[in-house]
Amino acid sequence: MDDVPGLDEPLKNVLGGTTAKVMAEHLDLHTVGDLLHHYPRRYAERGELTRLSDLPLDEHVTVVAQVEDARVHTFNGARGKGQRLEVTITDGSGRLQLVFFGRGIHAPQNELLPGTRAMFAGKVSAFHRKLQLAHPAYELLRGDGGADAVDAWAGALIPIYPACKQLESWKIAKAVDAVLPRAQDAVDPLPPALREGRGFAALPEALVKIHRPANKADIAIARERLKWDEAFVLQVALARRRYADTQLPAVARRPVPGGLLDAFDAKLPFTLTEGQQKVSKEIFADLATEHPMHRLLQGEVGSGKTMVALRAMLGVVDAGGQAAMLAPTEVLAQQHHRSVTEMMGDLAEGGMLGGAEQATKVVLLTGSMGTAARRQALLDLVTGEAGIVIGTHALIEDKVQFHDLGLVVVDEQHRFGVEQRDALRGKGKQPPHLLVMTATPIPRTVAMTVFGDLETSVLDQLPAGRSPIASHVVPAKDKPHFLARAWERVREEVEGGHQAYVVCPRIGDDEDEPRKKSAEDEAEKRPPLAVLDIAAQLTKGPLKGLRVEILHGRMQPDDKDDVMRRFAAGEVDVLVATTVIEVGVNVPNATAMVIMDADRFGVSQLHQLRGRVGRGSAPGLCLLVTEMPEASPARARLNAVAGTLDGFELSRIDLEQRREGDVLGQAQSGVKSSLRMLAVIDDEEVIAAAREEAVTVVAGDPELERLPGLRTALNALVDKEREQYLDKG
């Protein structure tokens, strides 16, 4: 049974060109099947109204409410007299102002009379600290039964769809009505035994119930079924990837006694933490098998992941192989190269005078290297002269050949697609072992979903000697003197012989892409703060006389490296930078960080940034500067970051606060596109159960020959992944 073309039919055949074009461009919906899987975000009940009291600022919302009051105001504008219609709507929980201007006021003036109920859609903005919708689209809900509007929504539950400015929720609902009969053609991905065993509704029935529920029980039945589909198909994809990996051969790499690793360990000025020892043991056990290791190493900022990875790399070099370490940016690759060569000392000087006898060569390979240096690095790799190579994605290029690649270490995996891993894997005589590292703490559910093809190790203790970091929110608008004090604190740190970072959301040169103004910006009347502007203000003002330098992604690689090197050497007091310093930059003498417009960053990102200070023996200080009002969700987010240093706790808060479906970040190996119903943070049990079922199914039928419906669903998911696997970070 192949996929019935019914669901593959282009929307333009069913809905007409104009609507189909808007759906494709703004909602990424192209086929009948896409639209059937565009589920309502929630349901409004005729009798009850949406909660106006907790509308999110700057989002496109649909609300059902009743008109309380409508007035026309005349005002003197730039073009003479103008008229403005202000309508107050209420839902019992709160009020919301609607504003219509100019000629646009005539229809609403006649239709939006007190007592009228309607659905309103628009973008929530703030005006004089009050929420409002300017020129919302609306659809009246008449109770006379004769109106089209009520007939269009079956029963008492009105589905509210994720919508956009160009296409309101009720228009999407009408489009769904046109395609709903095709739900009967949906191919069921669940094996019959699984579906019956768990008592799930059939797929066509679930699709009808999610879009047109007669009651709340229908929604629950449909959700349970559709969640399982998503979790199960995804887990089957991951289980098949794990299964395929176990079928691959690999060279077992066992460290040689008295080799490079032993020489390195003998030089270490400290002992490894218990956590580092435990994780190293897991890694060396994997390396000793004849199937490729696939392990995810999660560790808090500063927990010593690089040390663990380096020891694994040295062990592989001892066993006659080569190791490659991949970083997401050039700044980070250069930094890793510097710290690895420093940690190894004369052990990194293979083939050079003064190199230790067990030494190997450690080479750097990035896209911006000069031709001669690049040629030499490539030569060292192909001859096997270099045991360790550190670089950016440039390592994956066709020209790069290895003598015998045994281990690949990938730093910050969430910027690295599955296909890239495969490309690198193809560089070995046999598939190399793979170790993936991330400092972004990942809750178990996300680990099972995004990194479900990897075994997981966690480093959760910080090495001794790490200092605590004090974090504070600086409300620059409410209390300007707090900001002045922040700059004084930076001066004090510098006077005490330390250094500081100032982080801004933008670079600020003319190449900054023209920004879409959000309502929040409109309220503040300014774009996010920029490195170039802030650096200029600080050198003339509060930090006058200090050595201030800038660092951002558009600088020439040599200039970036030069600034970083001088900062690391203590020749720069304050580094004003974008988030290029987010990952892996290690300057133990930097003790203070001021993050400007901190509300523009995500929780995990703030945690990452903060991890750049407090890396030495002096305590760290992180100041989160914001102009957002005290009651705003943005401030709540910042308070959470200031309140805990526990990355796992913050990653949970982060996930709970983000919109569902955005949980997995942009294209965490393309998974985002496939999760519509599954809430990764809440549905841990579903994901865990689906994972077990998936393992059983794949073990019994790896090619899914007996499950054509599942194979079809899987191909659709994998195609989506293929389209999106690459997030260059």
Q: CA 460 to CA 659: how far, in whole Å?
A: 28
Residue 395 is given by DSSP the state G
pLDDT tens digits for 565-618? 899 899 999 999 988 775 556 788 999 999 999 988 888 788 888 888 877 778
State the pLDDT at residue 377: 92
Q: CA 1 to CA 609: how far, in whole Å?
A: 52
Report the amino acid identity of residue 19: T
Q: CA 22 to CA 17: how far, in whole Å?
A: 9
With a cut of 50, list the residues of the chain below it in pLDDT. Answer: 1-4, 47, 145-147, 149-155, 512-525, 659-673, 722-729
pLDDT tens digits for 71-102? 988 877 666 678 889 999 987 777 888 999 88
Prediction pTM value: 0.61
DSSP string of 212-260? S-SSHHHHHHHHHHHHHHHHHHHHHHHHHHHHHHHHS------PPTTSH
Token digits for 656?
């709970």
Give the up-direction half-sphere exposure of residue 173: CA atoms within 13 A in the CB hemisphere.
Answer: 26
Residue 575, SS3? Answer: strand
Residue 101, SS3? Answer: strand
| Entry field: residues in the chain | 729
Q: CA 69 to CA 95: how far, in whole Å?
A: 11
State the pLDDT at residue 375: 92
DSSP string of 481-517? HHHHHHHHHHHHHHHTT-EEEEE-SB--STTSPPPPP
pLDDT tens digits for 675-688? 667 766 677 788 88
